[in-house]
Amino acid sequence: MIFLAKSNASDQKTVSKSAYRQPVTPEGLKAIESGTLTWLDDEMYNNLNTGVLEQYLEEKNLEESFEVSHWNTPKVLIGIGIGAVFSGVTAYIGLKLGLAISAAWYIAYLLGMALKWSPSEVNIATSATTGATHASTGFIFTFPAIFLLASQPAYALADGPLVTLEDGEAFTLAFIGIVASMFAGFLGVMYFIIFRRVWLVEDPLPLPGFEATLKMLDISSDVSTGAVEHARDSLKTIGLWTVVTMVGLFLVEYPLIWANDRKVALLDFIAESLHFGDLGLATFYSNGKIHQPSGTSDGVSLGYTHWSEETAWNPFSYTYIGVALTPSMFAIGWFMKARVAFLVNLGTLVGWLFLVPLAVGLNVPVYEAQLGASVPVQDYHATMNAFNPAKYPSSTGAAQMVIFAKTVRTIAIGAIVGGGMFGLAKMWRTFANIFTDIGAAFKGDGSQEYMEGKGWYEWPLKHIPIFMGITFFAMIVIFSVGGFSPLSALVFASVLILTTFMLGAIAVRVMGETGIEPVSGTSFIVLLMLLGVFLNAQDLLQLNTQDAVLLGLVGTTVFGSAISMSGTVIGDYKNSLYIGNRPYHISKGNIMGVVPGAIIGAGVAIFLSIQLAEGRIQLIAPQANAFATFSVIFAEGQGDLTLLALGFLLGMFVEWATGMGTSFGLGMYLDVPHTLPMLIGGVARDRWEDKKLQPRIDALKEKEGTTVAEKKRALILLSTFMVAAGLLTGEAFFGTESSILSFIDSLWYDDEGARTVMGIDNFANSGAWYAIRMGGLIFLNVAIGATIYLLFKRAGVIGGDSSPAEA
């Protein structure tokens, strides 16, 4: 009764500032008063995010969680292993689509359920999984910009590339970034310890969508619902759809046909074969995209509609519309649902259906760094043809693609930054109250860390300033050893400590309210701050322009990993409160996952980035391209800052109107073929839920009650998530394998062309290499599949039951 009075007082004090705060139900109030409300019961679900429930459960956990929450190192290591492997998968998806979405935690949850782990064990193990998966986020979004600046002609200046990497320099930068990201990841987890009680107990953030993971934990606690069998079926579903996706992409992307000095995928070969003169299927399909009619030449698609005076009447020469056959984007749309998918697509639609055709029609000048001058877009290809006929052989081309790359993407960058900054400005009350929250937390108001005779309940707050100091000096040492001046390293360390704390706290608050953490938006702000300091104080900091840009990009990489970890841990903490886990174990799991995740995820991201920059694979990498463009603009004082300002205002407006300005800006940065599948996936899920799922659940509610019906809903929805997870993992696995093969292909060439290998002339184009390449791909996938099958069979997931001890 004493607790209830205190809870009500707290609720009355804070409810006015929480638009999302839910009122406590009368039944829930009675259960709390009598002490009968417990984890995962109906009244708990009815009172989520009331504040009264969370404070009650916090007090309950302080007393009882030591009987429930137990650390199991082997199970945590399984979680870390899953997260580390999928950190590479996440890297590929992030570079291809611009969204760091991972199916790792689904796999970990399902595996834990299949092995009959308790909800507590699943939650702790998956905290390590999410920690490992997100520790390398900065290497997905920011670090690839370094390789783009060094290798891509699109970012070259009149006197050469902005960044020139000497032998071994890329390895040095990667080493600096990986080690620094580890420290930053630890710091990101620890920073949120300060806010756990404030934002998840006293005034709980809703974290939209967390209910799905909570329901999975609920299902795993009730074997009688058939959860174990369903988990096994779900893992099989993921496997099936991973295989289906990889086979489909093999037909769409793998260069299966080698003929007439060309290497093309089977679907491209079929499309090119079905033609009569210049009319044929290839005019609508090429390179994995169904697109607007572009015309063909000898059956080969021209890809885009070129602008010229003769084609000025054709509306397709002013824009580009198509749908890419990318399962990942459909899957991501399914996860997002229609509203969020539409808001991301809204940026794409505004860009491609309004800004791009308007700019082409008005013949807007575009800046070309290689010329050091601006060129009207309709004359761009003719000008570049005259400048370098060998590199630009045609005097006509897709003007819409030029205007998109050089004008609309600049507006998109501004929109991302504007939306992110306005989103932070909307949180000014939170910003103003942060220090109050910190003071209360450090005073220990309502918190208890170590329970005598029981152990740690929460990670000790006194470790935070200690680790801040360790991280501060570690950054100075790491960047100084890496070749940057000690003073510049000192400046970066100061910026990292402050921005990770201040911007990270607000980014997590935004995530808690919307379900989306603005990593890109806040990272752009940090890059702006770093470049502003480093470029304007080069003499003082002993930096040339290249070093200033490199330090800014590596520093932003480290920041991105830090706040990503803060956003990751909030979801794990949220679930742990409702199932009786100790926050100490969640923090420990996330921290343990950082090191392997940072190494593997960053390694895969760097490898893919090099292949991307060298042109061996085609990935959108929207954030990396945006960071590269941003760096050129600020380093050289070039680019149209008016367009950047226009985008900034547009992003602010969209953020004000919808709360998703950064998503809108990101959508504008993507092309139509890669966002329409996302919208299709989101709309498909909404219609499926309305037309198929809801009637079935309503009928079940009438027959067997709400509890059974809601658990059935969770299981059915989870089945669709497993299909989507299979689409994601299949495309990521196949894409990674393809990039490795493309890299090996490049080894058979030198400056004079295809090399002689094993006595075979022109080995790269020979039948011998074709057979070896195909055989290697088949062997690799069969070996991986067999290994997974044997592991799952041994664990009892496939082919019968297994006791928990045997598993």
- d(CA 553, CA 174) in angstroms, rounded, equals 11
Average pLDDT, the chain: 81
Number of CB atoms found within 10 A of residue 436's CB: 10
What pLDDT score was predicted for residue 230? 64
Mean pLDDT of 592-618: 85
Which candidate, 587, 578, 590, 804, places its Cα nearest to that of 65? 578
> For the ranges 116-120, 299-303, 614-618, 644-648, which has the lowest average pLDDT?
614-618
> Does residue 12 have a pLDDT over 50?
no
- In tens, the pLDDT along 286-341 reads 888 999 998 887 778 888 888 888 888 999 999 999 999 988 888 878 877 888 78
At residue 760, the 3 state secondary structure works out as: strand
Retrieve residue 148's tokens: 């783009």
Note the helical H segments in 308-426.
327-350, 356-361, 380-387, 399-403, 409-426
Retrieve residue 372's tokens: 């050091």
- d(CA 201, CA 180) in angstroms, rounded, equals 32
Helix H or strand E encompassing 472:
helix 463-481
Angle between helices 227-253 and 706-746 (to 10 degrees): 30
- d(CA 774, CA 429) in angstroms, rounded, equals 59
Distances (CA, A) of 489 to 169, 176, 357: 17, 12, 45
What pLDDT score was predicted for residue 440? 56
What pLDDT score was predicted for residue 56? 93
Task: Give the model's confidence band at 231: pLDDT under 50 very low, under 70 low, under 90 confident, else very high.
Answer: low
Residue whose token pair is 């404030």: 198
Task: Give the model's confidence band at 796: pLDDT under 50 very low, under 70 low, under 90 confident, else very high.
Answer: low
Distances (CA, A) of 516 to 208, 416, 600, 652: 9, 14, 25, 17
Non-local CB neighbours of 508 within 8 Å, separated by 6+ positions:
192, 195, 199, 517, 563, 566, 567, 570
> Does residue 5 have a pLDDT over 50?
no
Residue whose token pair is 């496997």: 239
Q: Which residue has the higher pLDDT, 207 or 646?
A: 646
At residue 240, the 3 state secondary structure works out as: helix
Task: Give the model's confidence band at 758: pLDDT under 50 very low, under 70 low, under 90 confident, else very high.
Answer: confident
Retrieve residue 497's tokens: 């400590």
- d(CA 723, CA 748) in angstroms, rounded, equals 38
By residue count, the chain amounts to 807
- d(CA 130, CA 583) in angstroms, rounded, equals 15
What pLDDT score was predicted for residue 506? 66
- In tens, the pLDDT along 400-428 reads 988 998 888 888 878 877 887 787 677 66
Angle between helices 545-579 and 622-636 (to 10 degrees): 140
Task: Give the model's confidence band at 510: pLDDT under 50 very low, under 70 low, under 90 confident, else very high.
Answer: low
| Conformation bin of residue 581: beta by default, left when phi > 0, alpha when psi is -120 to 50 | beta
Distances (CA, A) of 320 to 293, 471, 710: 10, 48, 44
Helix H or strand E encompassing 263:
strand 262-264
Which candidate, 332, 288, 236, 244, places its Cα nearest to that of 684? 332
Angle between helices 545-579 and 519-536 (to 10 degrees): 150
pTM of the model: 0.73
- In tens, the pLDDT along 721-753 reads 778 878 877 887 787 788 778 778 877 877 677
Retrieve residue 52's tokens: 């009264």
Residue whose token pair is 């794990």: 572
| 8-state DSSP, 397 | B
